Amino acid sequence: MHHTVSGWFTAESRDLPWRDPDRTPWGVLVSEVMLQQTPVVRVLPVWHEWMERWPEPALLAAEPPGEAVRAWGRLGYPRRALRLHAAATVIAAEHGGRVPDTEEGLLALPGVGSYTAAAVAAFAFGRRATVVDTNIRRVHARLVGGEALPAPALTAAEQRRAAELLPEDAALSVAWNASTMELGALVCTARSPRCAECPVAADCAWRAAGEPPPSYTPKGQAWHGTDRQVRGAVMAVLRAAEHPVALELFTGPAPEPELVSETAPEPVPGPGAGLVSGPGGAVSRARSPHAMALARLHALRTGPEQLERAIAGLVADGLAVDDGGRLALP
């Protein structure tokens, strides 16, 4: 089974830059953090931008953490950017700019959990490590457990099963981790598994059991109208602004939407709505990306309590700072 799935991976896997022979451990660490809860298609352009700008951890560590948040773009869950910046700072200061090559060393980095430590140890350094992500859990559940889907949250039993399935040989264990992860992403998908393309379909316990339905219905996370949506809209304003943004521009009346940019379909604020406090209190009224992001925030028609809660949460999480009534990236 190990060799069959690994052989399929050699023939069918996607060509991804963090799998290249010349990949760096830092590039693998960045990819693993970015790929958490974010699909590959969205990660690819941002990963390339990060690696071009910060090919070494020390280069990222030398910049303010707000630059990491700004460069994170719309990947979501921007606290991951802060965690990467914090890890880069420790790598530069305590490890001579080199990513630790063991699970123990990786776990000691700020913001690096058990999954990320195992994945980087395996994929960057060829270590034998038990990697368990959503795709791997699903393959294990069907292939070995005979279940349509794994439990909603990782269980101790699943972790033990993954450890038992891991080959003893280090090189084969790395291949097994990568190939089962890819099999889950491309073939053994959650909603529409393509069993006819699966290299181990004949050995699948779930198919042998008659493909029983899942014991629960997976529910996606709500977005529209949630604090997460409002936080994302506020962050978009801060990423687009060159200077701290006056708080009243977030909490004040919605800007007039009558002016529309010739190059974008979204309405942009009317006179005064795009004000940004610059150095020395200077004010500009340009139809900037910041003004357009501010218009999109106001278009949500968020109530003042939710908006204030979102801003307070961003400040508490270290994603924004309140600089005397003006909001900015850290």
CA distances from 182 to 16, 118, 141 (A): 11, 16, 15
User: Parallel, antiparallel, or unpaired: how do β-strands 245-246 and 326-328 relate?
Assistant: antiparallel
CA distance 21 to 4: 22
Catalytic residue among 32, 103, 147, 158: 32
CA distance 328 to 247: 10
Q: Mind giving me the DSSP string for 73-131?
A: TTSS-THHHHHHHHHHHHHHHHSTT----SHHHHHTSTT--HHHHHHHHHHHH------
Instruction: For residue 187, give the nearest of 253, 142, 239, 244 by alpha carbon.
Output: 142
Bridge partners for 305 per DSSP:
none
| 164 in active site | no
Rg (CA), the chain: 23
Is the Cβ–Cβ distance between 209 and 34 less than 8 Å? no
Catalytic residue numbers read 32
